[in-house]
Amino acid sequence: MRPEQLSLQLLAWIYLANANPIAQKGGLGVLDISDTNDLSVRQRFEEVIRLDCASQRRKALKRKTDGDSRTYIPTCSPKNSLLYDKLQCYDVSAYCWCVDELSGEPKIGTSTARGKPKCEDRTTTTVAPKRVRRNNRCKEKRRTRFLRRLVSTIKSEMIMNGVNATKVSRDSAIRWKFNQLNVNHNTVLERSEWKPFKSVLLEWKNVRQCSRNLFKTCDLDRDRKLTFEEWRKCIVQEINRVPAKRPDQLNPFLYILRPE
């Protein structure tokens, strides 16, 4: 049972139990309060009956019988006569429109001449906006800066591990780090070997997306392993595409002298 039907019946039972002069006609929900002198009772029932399609239709048919041929007669829902049918039509003007089932109020923008709008399709539902994944946060200049920083960090790590600074270059740093990470010495980096280094990179500020996806973007053949050639190509090609513009970008101790 719908809430509006239940409240109408509940009001009827209350007032009938209190012996108010309110009669039932045609079953529960079709009420006649024309004889009551209680203003509060009249107002409360008129508010309910205003939304009752069966009552409004009965009144309209009476006016038409009395001679008003242009009277609009509402169509009630076939499932519940208290509710309005979603589609209403006025034969005199050949217009049809959609209404609210409970109140019968027309829905703006649905009126159609010599045709019937699709009222079933006009139910408005709130659709949550799709979350847009920002996959472009590690592209172009941002990725280049990240890789340049990666090489500088590896160079400084080599020097702090006792490698002669004169022998430290970009290519030697890339090879040194690859050998350091390749714990099982099988000439390829596996994800299990990469994971500890990834944890270190994820601590860098403002480049989390680059750190997270570095292994995946360098794995060109998608075999979940990194060869040295893939590792080197991934870094060198990107850095060469955008040459360093400032001397401090080549400083291997840049990110140690100027910590985050």
* Average pLDDT score, the chain: 76
Q: What would the pLDDT profile of 99-142 be if each residue is shown by its tens digit?
A: 988 888 888 888 888 888 888 754 445 556 666 555 557 887 88
Which residues, listed in sequence order, are joined to residue 88 by a DSSP beta bridge? 97
What is the helix (H) or strand (E) element at residue 188, kind and residue range?
Answer: strand 188-190
Which residues, listed in sequence order, are joined to residue 99 by a DSSP beta bridge? 106
Say how far residue 31 (Cα) sits from the centre of its chain: 46
Q: Is the pLDDT score of 96 beyond 80?
A: yes
DSSP state letters, 51-80: T-HHHHHHHHHHHHHTT-TT---PPBPSS-
| Strand arrangement of the beta sheet that strand 87-90 belongs to | 87-90, 95-98, 112-113
pTM attached to this predicted model: 0.44
Which residues, listed in sequence order, are joined to residue 106 by a DSSP beta bridge? 99
**Which residue shows structure tokens 């209350």?**
14
Task: Tell me the angle at which helices 228-241 and 170-181 cross, rounded to the nearest 10 degrees.
Answer: 150
Q: Which tokens is 110 given?
A: 């649905």
Q: What would the pLDDT profile of 172-230 be if each residue is shown by its tens digit?
A: 999 999 999 999 999 999 999 999 999 999 998 888 889 999 999 999 899 999 999 99
Domains and CATH numbers, the chain: 49-121 (4.10.800.10), 140-241 (1.10.238.10)
